[in-house]
Chain A
Amino acid sequence: MQTWSLVSICVLLGVVVRWGVSLNSYSAGKPPMFGDYEAQRHWQEVTYNLPLQEYFNTTDNDLNYWGLDYPPLTAYHSWICAYAKIINPDWVELHKSRGYESPTHKLFMRTTLLIYIPAVVLYCLYLTDGSSKKKISTLLCFLLYPGLILIDYGHFIRYNGVSLGFALWGILALGLGWDVSGSMAFSLALNYKQMELYHALPFFCYLLGKCIKAGPMGRLFLLVRIAATVLATFALCWLPFLSDPSQALQVVRRIFPVARGLFEDKVANTWCSLNTLIKIRSILSGDSQLYLLACTFLAVLPASFRLLTKPTFWHFKLALVNSSLAFFLFSYQVHEKSILLAAPVCLLLNDLPLIAIWFLQASTFMLPLFLKDGLLVPYVVTSLAFLFFSLYLLSALDHCSEDELRMGAYNKLLFFLPKMDLAHVVRWKFYISVAVMAVLSIVSIALVPPPHLPDLFPVLVSTTAFLHFFGTFVYFNVVQFSEPPSRKSQKKNN
């Protein structure tokens, strides 16, 4: 069958699954706050009716009711969407349209796939190795990744697909060698959501490394070109706010609210998990953010340094994963959904299928969050489907040898342990972990927690997820420092 027919089928399947999930309940809510859907609609109301300068401050705009706290590109996007006024003016009437919902509006707002899906298709077709069948399988698995689907189309927080899409375009461009376009795309992603800062360091190190590796003249030229592009993009996005420095500062204050606590809800990061043992939240005060920053920086350092010295695409992908994981695990005010930024692991579906699938499954394992929104059925269905189809199509369980999992370094590190069949061990760990996740999911739904431990199940879930994430973090760091795959083993993988 022709490749493009298969690609169309995969894309259509991805769209159908997203639409199917969106038919379920979402983050609707009750007055007075109404939920995330209402936040989106409110931003459209604000951006359409008020002049640009007032988007981020409090004149006619009540910041406590879902104030805009993303960079300017989100505001512009809301403004474009607000041209939905053509269809129905009631949606965006200032102050009067709070709490308004309708099915067509829902559909209208789910068009983020226009940016995300083409990037995925192009990546899978042009930047992965293997036969065309393997590429198509990777494409299907990438599109079926449950985390992004459930958040963007089920839970409906924000347009994560747009910012991730822009970042993917950036990665795609860098992979094809178009450094300038890549940096422009990533700047756009940064200006859409500040969470993309998680990925900023690898981009920076990769481009810097490339500049260093280029000859003396080429080095300066490339550096100048990239810097100019980035500055120009930022300037373009922030143009309306640059006229008044206090304006710009207000925007920055809205984007980085440092007044919030160490963590919110039950997040699968280090501090939350440590909190169960030692009450960290009470020990660390607001000033200790510096310590946290130092911690995060330390975690990110090895991968970034390695990338700087060896700026290849393979190391770039690994560094993206490591950096976003490090930020998630150790940073300040991490929200559960930030784990989606580890979606770059999808880029590794082709090279390290089993570990990638394992991690992606664990990252979807945020059950307490979804139970709140009644998304149980989509969660179960999409997780099972992803697990089954990715294992089947990518034959992940067959490609478990030591070489394919790049576990050579582990053997050297753990030389004091008896020699075991590593592939066997990994496979069994995978089965056990999937079983544990399944059991925990069932238990969280079916059983009622004991009265003196009301948060037992969310805590168990987040701690399990944390252990998985930490293990993956260590693994990918080890892989980054191992030798890159040899040509022979690459041919064998196909």
Chain B
Amino acid sequence: MAARVDSGFWFPALALGVSFLKCLFINAYHSTDFEVHRNWLAITHSLPVSRWYHENTSEWTLDYPPLFAWFEFGLSHVAQHFDRNMLQVENLHYASPSTVLFQRLSVIFTDVVFIYAAKECCRCVQEQKGSQDVLNRPSFVLAVLLLWNFGLLIVDHIHFQYNGFLFGVLLLSVAKHLQSQHLQGALLFAILLNLKHIYLYVAPAYGIYLLRSYCFTQDNKDGSIRWMSFSPLRLLALGSIVVSVCALSFGPFIAMGQLPQVLSRLFPFKRGLCHAYWAPNIWALYSVLDKGLAVLGVRLKLLEEAELPRASMTGGLVQEFQHSVLLSVSPSATLVCTLLSILPAVASIWLRPCGARGFLRCLLLCALGSFMFGWHVHEKAVLIAILPLRASYQSFSDADVHHLLLHSSQEAPQRSGPSAPSSGGHLPARPGRRGDRLRGGLPPVAVATEAALPPPAGDVGVLLGGRLLLLPASVRQAAAAGRQTQAAVRSSNSIL
């Protein structure tokens, strides 16, 4: 191609191209999440702050942390120029063309944060020496994988959510850590937690990493912890950042004494173990096993059919239910399982830290562990694992997991809409030795087909594969960390 293409103009071209594509989906199908956000625009615009977390005219009550509510409040001031009627709380399911246009454009515009974060991540990628064809450069591949992530496209621009903006903040925080600007990274993560609390999934990774690699300024020669190098000043700095952000966000509600109400909205444990559409996690397998045993038990006359509870777990209703044969699972049980699953990863970055690269992998494993064992997990939560995985795209094992995870996230959102087009494609990397840079050509694009699999079957298939790879991955990380005795990579600023 001509000189201009090589001169670095490819990033704006990619960003512009995907933004144009997003505009074409403005009039596509949108899910109930559209009404959710319209309702929140109305609540934050029309009602005083004291009513925000008490309002329940609509079934879609405000269940994100206060900073997101303030974000919606800001958006509502622009919204009033498009269509004032959408800001009436009573106008349930209001979806005039201007409303749709405004909401879609707001997602497209806030994706600017994501584009900026992708640019920062690309800057952290080490280029190979020698002039290379643009299409084979690692930074180009990373930019395509991040900007043109079809899972995110489908969830954000068809199904309708604000994930692009939130993932932008997450990736920016990760990029800051890779550039050794830990305080900025911590600030961004604190803001992120107050925007959407699902990122608590990855909070252990941040906590342990910052404590071990930032608060302890030096390591021993063999990489183990040097207790004397603890810096209380740094701990104080981190603590004050987190506390001040939380104070800014929750402060008004604590002052009004509404904290319990807010917390009950944020953490609704009455919603049941599995979401209406099952996320492909352990509890889905567990429920299938339970059902299978129940049927078997009835057949073998070991159980009375009348004794079995009547609840249908995939009935689309959000409710609590009891398992019939196996033990019922409580929220604390899921918490214990989650903590056990992320223990190896977290322990490894405590005992043998590998710098920012290790942190990224730990983040990924925390996300996966919480996805696998968490309470009431949404299938879309797998995106939290996918995007950092792309950023840490390195070797054969990562590519495998990436392949499977991407497939599961492609299938999931399609079930939420009959006419969502499956325009998926992804670029699996050619397998290489561990630690290799991305090199050489990439095999042809594989297209994810619009297969209408019934929820349990498809998820179980993916689930088994994912499950099998998850445990070895965390064990492998611990082993790899043990092998690398050169720790102190605090100043490392590359992720590949």
Contacts and interface: CB of A to CB of B under 8 A. Distances in A.
Interface stretch (A206-214, A388-396, A430-438): A388-396
A21 interface: yes
Interface stretch (B323-331, B437-445, B474-482): B437-445
B1 A381 contact: no
A398 B2 contact: yes
A378 B25 CA distance: 9
Interface string A19-44: 11101110000000000000000000
Given A16-B21, A16-B423, A377 B4 contact: no
A23 B24 contact: yes
A389 B442 CA distance: 23
Contacts, number: 82
Interface string B260-271: 000000000000
Contact of A377 (B3, B21, B26): B26
B423 A19 contact: yes
A9 B427 CA distance: 11
Given A12-B425, A21-B24, A103-B419, A392 B444 contact: no
B13 interface: yes
A377 B16 CA distance: 16
B1 A133 contact: yes
A6 B24 CA distance: 23
A489 interface: no
Contacts of A288: none
A2 B444 contact: yes
Given A24-B27, A392-B4, A381 B20 contact: yes
B1 A134 contact: yes
B23 interface: yes
Contacts of B20: 381-382, 384-385
B419 A1 contact: no
A393 B26 CA distance: 26
Interface residues of B, number: 32
A383 to B, nearest CB: 10
A409 interface: no
B239 interface: no
A8 B445 contact: yes
Interface in B13-54: 13, 16-17, 20-21, 23-28
The A interface is mostly helix, strand or loop, or mixed, namely helix
A381 B445 CA distance: 25
B447 interface: yes
Nearest to A21: B24
Contacts of B23: 377, 380-381
A133 B20 CA distance: 23
A392 B9 CA distance: 9
B87 to A, nearest CB: 23
Interface in B41-85: none
Given A9-B445, A389-B13, A1 B133 contact: yes
A103 B1 CA distance: 41
A20 B1 CA distance: 28
Contacts of B21: 16-17, 20
Contact of B4 (A16, A380, A384, A398): A398
B311 interface: no
A5 B443 contact: yes
B133 to A, nearest CB: 7
Contacts of B423: 12, 15-16, 19
A378 B136 contact: no
A394 B447 CA distance: 28
Contacts of B136: 1
Given A134-B1, A137-B1, A389-B13, A20 B444 contact: no
B135 interface: yes
A15 B421 CA distance: 11
Interface in A351-398: 377-378, 380-382, 384-385, 388-389, 392-393, 395, 398
B347 interface: no
A5 B4 contact: no
Contacts of A2: 441, 444
Nearest to A19: B421
A443 B421 CA distance: 34
Given A103-B419, A389-B17, A395 B4 contact: yes
B169 to A, nearest CB: 27
Contacts of B2: 395, 398
B445 A392 contact: no
A415 interface: no
Interface in A392-443: 392-393, 395, 398
A25 B13 CA distance: 28
B1 A5 contact: no
A291 interface: no
Nearest to B29: A23
B468 interface: no
Nearest to A136: B1
B296 interface: no
A385 B442 contact: no
B444 to A, nearest CB: 5
Nearest to B28: A23
Contacts of B447: 12
Contacts of A108: none
Given A8-B444, A385-B17, A20 B5 contact: no
Given A134-B1, A395-B4, A5 B445 contact: yes
A384 B4 CA distance: 19
Contact of A5 (B9, B17, B421, B442): B442
Nearest to A106: B419
Contact of A17 (B24, B418, B441): B24
B27 A377 contact: yes
A447 B13 CA distance: 32
A389 B19 CA distance: 13
Contacts of A384: 20
Contact of B442 (A1, A25, A392): A1
B93 to A, nearest CB: 20
Contacts of B135: 1, 6
A16 B420 CA distance: 12
Nearest to A378: B24
Contacts of B26: 377
B442 A20 contact: no
A289 to B, nearest CB: 42
Interface string B430-471: 000000000001111101000000000000000000000000
Given A5-B442, A16-B421, A23-B27, 7 more contacts: A5-B445, A15-B423, A20-B28, A103-B419, A377-B26, A392-B4, A395-B3
17 contacts: A1-B133, A2-B444, A5-B441, A6-B135, A12-B425, A16-B21, A20-B21, A20-B28, A20-B421, A21-B24, A23-B25, A134-B1, A381-B24, A385-B20, A392-B4, A392-B5, A398-B2
Interface of A: 1-2, 4-6, 8-9, 12, 15-17, 19-21, 23-25, 103, 133-134, 137, 377-378, 380-382, 384-385, 388-389, 392-393, 395, 398
